[in-house]
Amino acid sequence: MPDRSLSSKLFQAAKEVIPGGVNSPVRAFRNVDGDPFFVQRARGPRIWDVDGNELIDYVGTWGPAILGHAPSVVIDAVTQAAKEGVSFGIPNRHEVEMARTIRDYVPSVEKVRMVNSGTEATMSAIRLARGFTGRDKIVKFEGCYHGHVDSLLVAAGSGALTFGQPDSAGVPADFAKLTITIPFNRPEIVEQVFAEQGHEIAALILEPIPANAGLVFPKEGYLQLLRDLTAKHGTVLIFDEVMTGFRVAKGGVQELTGITPDLTAMGKVIGGGLPVGAFGGKAEIMDQLAPLGPVYQAGTLSGNPLALAAGLAQLKEMERLDGWNRLEEIGRAFEDAVRGTLRELGRDLVFHRVGSMFCLFFKEGAVDNVDDVKQSDFAAFRKFFWAALDRGVYFAPSQYEAGFLSLAHGEGEIAKTAEVACEALKIALA
Ligand code: HOZ
């Protein structure tokens, strides 16, 4: 087992001054019964921990690192922007360029506002939908995670699910009452909810490909059903594409499926690794925001020049490299390697992939929603995680998280990963 003594010391020190030693729960490795490593630096597809261990990384800072870590175009853009000032609190030219870029990539977004995180994006989109419709109730899906927004921390995914807190303490019961949660991929249930309460529902929010309970695909016709029901009842349809946007395709899931929401929450890739979120959609709805309309939303650092310069540089490089097509090729090669390994072992575990996002479930049969994911063999997942990490491959430390490939993952990394995954699976499934 690799030496992680310096990481251990840092974690002990961190726990004295930071709750749980981490600034976001999924980093604590609790779901895999261990302590996290501390990172020293990251470059391309690799990270090095403070003890000098080298890892091939499939977390990619939870999505933003689509070119790989620390691409020179992003570093140069940030350096250049910093020379002109790190924050202004006054309009700057990057904001207009980013808004135009988002609108070009995601045609359902006629107007967009920049914020600092995915959480802010979904929170603001919900408030806007409520202000626009004059209604209070919202619908979300079990296992979908939309950041740590009060009204969305009900039956939530990601860290909330990982740590058995899908319903967070501190969320007033009266808020939670306004959130109707239903299982994903069950048409009859959403139809019933809208038949009974459609006239009271301000917004239906979902990750159109849920990626915070593993990676789950909508069944044929399901997204269209949601589009039709929300349109019929005057409900705002919100796609949370913080993870999938600018990643599974240039224009996100809405480009892949052709189903367009009224509002979209974005983040991760468009920040190039710096703190960025955005929400946008129909001009008619977006123009309800202050200073034009009655829905208040603001932020000192929103539209920060460094963050937007980083995001724009990353998107331009993706264009230049034909990034989304290449990611599909890398994803296919990765999938072939994983499926080959599973065949070799004679195991029929579920493997889902869309573009550069993937999830291996320690489960056979279908995975259509979070209840299916909960049937996974978590003990085997844990063994697999540590066996892979000990051999130099870092997968997300929870069965409920998706993995990410980047343009920096080449044939060499994929071949080594297949070898490691094969050994790790043998250990996990023994
Ligand atoms: N939203 C990220 C993917 N599930 C997790 C990031 C975090 O909670 O720290």
Task: Check residue 164 and give its pLDDT.
Answer: 64
Clarify whether residues 94 and 227 are in a common domain.
yes
pLDDT digits (tens, 9 = 90+) for 154-193: 887 877 777 666 678 888 888 888 999 999 999 999 999 9
Q: What is the DSSP string of 227-269?
A: HHHHHHHTPEEEEE-TTTTTTTSTTHHHHHH----SEEEEEGG
Percent of the chain with pLDDT over 90: 92
Q: Output DSSP code: residue 38.
A: P
Q: What is the mean pLDDT of the chain?
A: 96
Clarify whether residues 270 and 401 are in a common domain.
no
Q: What is the DSSP string of 175-239?
A: HHTTEEEE-TT-HHHHHHHHHHHGGGEEEEEE-SS--SSS--PPPTTHHHHHHHHHHHHTPEEEE
Percent of the chain with pLDDT over 70: 99
The ligand 1 site (C-beta within 6 Å) comprises 24, 26, 62, 145, 158-159, 212, 401
Q: Which of 104-118, 146-160, 217-231, 392-406 has the lowest mean pLDDT?
A: 146-160
How far does residue 61's CA lie from ligand 1's centre (Å)?
A: 9
Residue 83 annotated to the active site: no
How far does residue 360's CA lie from ligand 1's centre (Å)?
A: 18
Clarify whether residues 124 and 229 are in a common domain.
yes
Q: List Cβ neighbours of 44 (8 Å cut-off, separation of 6 or more).
A: 68, 69, 70, 406, 408
Domain boundary among the residues 319, 350, 370 is at: 319
Clarify whether residues 202 and 340 are in a common domain.
no
Domain that holds residue 95: 72-319
Closest CA to 264 of 119, 418, 121: 121
pLDDT digits (tens, 9 = 90+) for 190-201: 999 999 999 999
Task: Check residue 21 and give its pLDDT.
Answer: 97
Task: Check residue 170 and give its pLDDT.
Answer: 87
Report residue 354's pLDDT band, with 50, 70 and 90 as the boundaries.
very high
Question: Which atom of ligand 1 is closest in space to residue 27's alpha carbon?
Answer: 9
- CATH number of 258's domain: 3.40.640.10
How far does residue 344's CA lie from ligand 1's centre (Å)?
A: 33
Q: Collapsing DSSP states into helix, strand and coil, what is residue 54?
A: strand
Clarify whether residues 61 and 113 are in a common domain.
no
pLDDT digits (tens, 9 = 90+) for 48-107: 999 999 999 999 999 999 999 999 999 999 999 999 999 999 999 999 999 999 999 999
Clarify whether residues 356 and 209 are in a common domain.
no
Other CB atoms within 10 A of residue 173 CB = 7
Task: Check residue 165 and give its pLDDT.
Answer: 66
Strand 351-354's sheet: what is its strand order? 351-354, 357-360, 403-404
Tell me the best of 18, 24, 144 to mutate to test the pocket of ligand 1, counting ligand atoms within 8 Å of each CB and taking the most: 24
Q: List Cβ neighbours of 312 (8 Å cut-off, separation of 6 or more).
A: 77, 94, 97, 98, 101, 272
Clarify whether residues 144 and 224 are in a common domain.
yes
Task: Check residue 153 and give its pLDDT.
Answer: 83
Question: Which atom of ligand 1 is closest in space to residue 242's alpha carbon?
Answer: 1
- CATH number of 336's domain: 3.90.1150.10
Q: How many domains does the chain have?
A: 2
Instruction: Name residue 67's beta-bridge partners.
Output: none
Query: Which pTM was predicted?
Result: 0.97
Q: Point out the catalytic residue in the list 57, 240, 262, 372.
A: 240
Report residue 416's pLDDT band, with 50, 70 and 90 as the boundaries.
very high
Tell me the best of 23, 61, 158 to mutate to test the pocket of ligand 1, counting ligand atoms within 8 Å of each CB and taking the most: 158
Q: Point out the catalytic residue in the list 268, 363, 372, 400.
A: 268
Q: Tell me what the mean pLDDT of segment 199-223 comes to.
A: 98
Residue 3 annotated to the active site: no
For residue 277, CA distances in Å to 102, 125, 132, 162, 164 come to 12, 11, 21, 23, 26
How far does residue 345's CA lie from ligand 1's centre (Å)?
A: 31
How many secondary structure helices (H) and strands (E) does the chain include?
A: 15, 14
Q: Collapsing DSSP states into helix, strand and coil, what is residue 278?
A: strand
Nearest CA to ligand 1 atom 5: 62
Clarify whether residues 335 and 188 are in a common domain.
no
Clarify whether residues 88 and 65 are in a common domain.
no
Q: Tell me what the mean pLDDT of segment 396-409 comes to.
A: 97
Task: Check residue 159 and give its pLDDT.
Answer: 76
Residue 145 annotated to the active site: yes
Clarify whether residues 77 and 198 are in a common domain.
yes
Q: List Cβ neighbours of 412 (8 Å cut-off, separation of 6 or more).
A: none
Closest CA to 214 of 290, 133, 261, 157: 157
- Burial letters 43-60, b for 16+ CB under 10 A, else e: ebbbbebbbebebbbbbb
Residue 358 confidence (pLDDT) above 70:
yes
Domain boundary among the residues 278, 295, 319 is at: 319
Question: Which atom of ligand 1 is closest in space to residue 400's alpha carbon?
Answer: 4
How far does residue 146's CA lie from ligand 1's centre (Å)?
A: 9
Clarify whether residues 126 and 173 are in a common domain.
yes
Task: Check residue 163 and give its pLDDT.
Answer: 66
- Checking DSSP bridges between strand 263-267 and strand 277-281, what pairing results, if any? antiparallel
Residue 110 CB-density burial (10 A; 0-12 exposed, 13-18 middle, 19+ buried) = middle
How far does residue 10's CA lie from ligand 1's centre (Å)?
A: 22
Residue 242 confidence (pLDDT) above 80:
yes
Strand 54-57's sheet: what is its strand order? 39-43, 46-49, 54-57, 393-394
Instruction: Measure the CA–CA gap between 365 and 142, rounded to whole angstroms.
Output: 20
Tell me the best of 145, 152, 216 to mutate to test the pocket of ligand 1, counting ligand atoms within 8 Å of each CB and taking the most: 145
Nearest CA to ligand 1 atom 6: 62
Clarify whether residues 229 and 372 are in a common domain.
no
Domain boundary among the residues 263, 297, 319 is at: 319
Residue 11 CB-density burial (10 A; 0-12 exposed, 13-18 middle, 19+ buried) = buried
Question: Which atom of ligand 1 is closest in space to residue 24's alpha carbon?
Answer: 9
Residue 231 confidence (pLDDT) above 80:
yes
